[in-house]
Structure 1
């Protein structure tokens, strides 16, 4: 793949950048899944006015475009790995919360949940020991969907200069740095761009496989 404008080996930087973007995306998506699961299942189980207030807050967060919300957060906190992970988690939390709330609403009226209530089990026990295990298939599919979006979001932030800072081999940053050399040295930008596309397509294929194996509809159908 040759070298970039600074004489650095492109293949080595692409391979090194892969581990960085995967780590950040997995951590950010996992944080969003964890927060969304807690908020969505607790809200759905509680119901009533609490559920209404929580869901309106989630709707408010979802009204912001993901990239715009991420830019607002990172421009305030600063760009580093920890803040990028936290930002991805906050951006994805509302969408996960809505999906898990819908699943909780459909499960909490079933007999095994009612039986746990009659035994006097506390709400946290019912949510995480009775309802959550039955929501794992949906959660797995939703998690893989969020992972593909996390990869795109992390790459976009890097391209805009709010991701990992130079000279780190971030794919989005590498694409941004190659803009002035697309005619003379297109491989500088095409290599990381191909990496992003391949990774996202691979995760999407995994998502479709999980969904078909479990016989589940698309994640948005639960909202």
Structure 2
């Protein structure tokens, strides 16, 4: 079996991504047909920049979803003789039914670079959007009352946010992963909680609080529906909360490995103050509008006005910032992986892969260049998407 040329490599890679192409085609066809009913998302189809950004982002989203169908080898599998193999290298010992080439070459441990790049998308897209969403719930839950009520509450919360923002990010991550910090923490109910677990116990409670307030204020005059939504939120929320924060889910469905918990908590902790400041500023601007005065005249409560009047009218800037912040988080995760502070060392996340390939960058660049290009393209797509969303939101 001979090595593949670059044209053959590209053709085989295109075939491997067939599930992604089909999913992209179906998504764009359906979205274009319903674009007039899809609000801000539908308006992206009038922006070439937005379409390009959306296509890049959805490409990696579908790659993460269909990764088991796309990869040609297991990301941890090592094949003798393919250490630092060049792209298109043939596998001399390939058995029947086994893929016969390393499409993008092998790394320093003779693992398939193409498969690790594909599986790395799962690592990034499993953490970045979820951690960003948690950070937004923390920032929104604290930013709304700070901007609406002002006074001592605003002063105290703003001081805390500025204090966190003044702390060096990388140093924070170094502190959270050290054994001394891992084994140090308060004694809760006879169990020694590490500092990351203690932070998780606080930060992960905000989504429960956010949705409870959301349903309570929306259906206050309809007790049966309010009780249903609030009860469901508390049951599901506390179940997920116990599993993620304390690894106490008896079913094992909701759980985080210690390394992943450290990364997740740190990302939320770092991003939440910035979201808080954005939401606070928007709230201070919007609370003086006429529709807020009209709501106060009707006798609406402060939390109803914050969650159902101010927040919907602030959705444009927040959606744009959400996309940008996912990009920042992606870069941050890559940086952490590069410094060995990310998830487990054998994980195929892009940052760790770049770090392992940089030592031979001048001789065998492909193990580091491939995940670097993947990381760059995802961040580029998110930035283009955010720019298009900003332009479209300003037209409203």
| TM-score of the pair, normalised by structure 1 | 0.91
Aligned mate of 1:66, from 164, 169, 175: 169
Q: 1:214 aligns to what?
A: 393
Do residues 103 (structure 1) and 319 (structure 2) align? Answer: no
Tell me which of 178, 191, 195 is aligned to 2:374: 195
RMSD: 1.6
Q: Could you give the per-residue CA deviations for residues 24-68 of structure 1, whole angstroms, max 9, x where no partner exists?
A: 111111111111111111211111111111111111111123333
Note if 1:128 corresponds to 2:304.
no
Distance 2:174 2:137 in 1: 22
Larger Rg: 2
2:136 is aligned to: 33
1:168-220, CA deviations, whole angstroms, 9 ceiling, x for partnerless residues? 1011101111122213321011111111111111111111111111128xxxx
Aligned residues: 216
What is aligned with 1:3?
106
**Residue 321 of structure 2 is aligned with which of 122, 125, 142?**
142
Do the aligned partners of 1:70 and 1:91 also contact (CA within 8 Å) in 2?
no
Counterpart of 1:12 in structure 2 is 115
Distance 1:42 1:154 in 2: 31
- Identify the match of residue 156 of structure 1 among 305, 321, 335: 335
CA contact (8 A) 1:144 1:207 kept: yes
CA contact (8 A) 2:173 2:341 kept: no
Note the C-alpha offset of 1:142. Answer: 1.0
Q: Distance in 1 between matches of 2:391 and 2:170?
A: 30
Q: Which runs of 5+ in 2 are unaligned?
A: 1-103, 183-195, 197-257
Runs of 4+, deviation exceeding 4 Å: none
Q: Counterparts of 2:163 and 2:169 in 1: how far apart (Å)?
A: 12
Is contact 1:45-1:127 (8 Å) kept? yes
Structure with the bigger RCO (C-alpha within 8 Å, sep 6+) is 1
Name the counterpart of 1:89.
268
Q: Which residue of 2 aligns with 1:44?
A: 147
Matches within 5 A, 1:172-187: 172-187=351-366
Cα displacement (A) at 1:72 = 2.8
Instruction: Look up the match of 1:168.
Output: 347
- More deviation, 106-115/70-79: 70-79
After superposition, the Cα gap between the structure-2 partners of 1:71 and 1:30, relative to the gap in structure 1 and judged at 3 Å, is: farther
Gaps of 5+ in 1: 217-223
Looking at structure 2, the residues matched to 20 and 123 of structure 1 have their Cα atoms a distance apart, in angstroms, of: 40
- CA–CA distance in 2 between the matches of 1:70 and 1:39? 23
After TM superposition, the score normalised by the length of structure 2 is: 0.52
Partner SS state of residue 345, structure 2: coil
1:36–1:96 contact (8 Å) kept in structure 2: yes
CA contact under 8 A between 1:45 and 1:105: conserved in structure 2? yes
Deviates more, 1:76-85 or 1:181-190: 76-85
Conserved 8 A contact 2:174-2:341? yes
CA distance in structure 2 between the aligned counterparts of 1:107 and 1:180, rounded to whole angstroms: 52
| 2:299 pairs with 1:117 | no
TM-superposed deviation, 1:73: 3.1
